[in-house]
């Protein structure tokens, strides 16, 4: 049996994932991993979520869990161990925080985008197409600024989180 508070936490985490355009199931899996630490198989995740959230509006089948796990792996929220032959097990990543990991992924994607746009500037003489030159420069500047902002947010979050964790351990 799950307490009302825990159930509400699962629901809120799932809804938050949906707001970012990801399936609720990803939020439920992250919540499960945070509340019940350890290694999980896809089958165990599916069974446990079905027990905890029987009236869920999204399927918690093994196939659905597999898709959600792939997303969580991409963002570094969970880590996989094992092999295809022996089976995989999953656990919460030591530095799991979906927002930070998403921001880091945005930074990587933006850096790739900036590199591609810089290639256009280097490869082609844009002096003959001032409109394109201006648009490319604006995009590069905008995404560079966006990355600087994201890096500051990540640094601030990590600093505050570190201070919070150290103050919690001091009070124990």
Which CATH number does the domain housing residue 68 bear? 1.10.10.10
Q: Are residues 17 and 72 in the same domain?
A: yes
**pLDDT for the residue numbered 120:** 93
Q: Are residues 74 and 142 in the same domain?
A: no
**Boundary of a domain, candidates 41, 68, 92:** 92
**Boundary of a domain, candidates 60, 92, 124:** 92
DSSP assignment of the chain equals: ---HHHHHHHHHHHHHHHHTTS-HHHHHHHHHHHHS-S-B-HHHHHHHHHHH-TT-SS---HHHHHHHHHHHHHTTSEEEEEETTTEEEEEE-TT--HHHHHHHHHHHHHHHHHHHHHHHHHHS-GGG-HHHHHHHHHHHHHHHHHHHHHHHHHHHHHHHHHHHHHHHHHT-
Residues of the domain holding 40: 4-92
Tokens of 23: 């399936």
Whether the pTM exceeds 0.85: the reply is: no
pLDDT per position as a tens digit, 11-35:
899 998 888 888 899 999 999 998 9
Q: Where is pLDDT greater, at 48 or 102?
A: 48
Tokens of 42: 């896809």
Q: Are residues 60 and 129 in the same domain?
A: no
Q: Are residues 120 and 75 in the same domain?
A: no
Q: Are residues 10 and 84 in the same domain?
A: yes
Domains identified in the chain, total number = 2
Q: Are residues 83 and 17 in the same domain?
A: yes
pLDDT band at 164 (very low <50, low <70, confident <90, very high): very low
pLDDT per position as a tens digit, 124-149:
888 889 999 999 999 999 999 999 99
């Amino acid at each position: 049996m799950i307490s009302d508070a825990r159930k509400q936490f699962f629901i809120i985490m799932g809804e938050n994932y949906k707001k970012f355009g990801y399936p609720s199931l990803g939020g439920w899996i992250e919540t499960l991993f945070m509340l019940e630490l350890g290694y999980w198989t896809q089958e165990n995740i599916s069974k446990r979520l079905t027990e905890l959230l029987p009236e869920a509006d999204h399927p918690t089948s093994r196939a659905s869990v597999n898709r959600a796990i792939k997303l969580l792996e991409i963002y570094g929220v969970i880590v996989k161990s094992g092999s295809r032959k022996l089976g995989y097990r999953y656990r919460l990543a030591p530095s799991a925080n979906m927002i930070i990991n998403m921001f880091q992924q945005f930074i990587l994607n933006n850096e790739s985008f900036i590199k591609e746009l810089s290639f256009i500037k280097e490869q082609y003489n844009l002096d003959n197409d001032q409109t394109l030159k201006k648009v490319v420069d604006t995009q590069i500047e905008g995404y560079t600024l966006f990355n600087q902002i994201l890096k500051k947010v990540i640094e601030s979050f990590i600093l505050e989180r570190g201070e919070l964790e150290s103050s919690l351990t001091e009070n124990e």
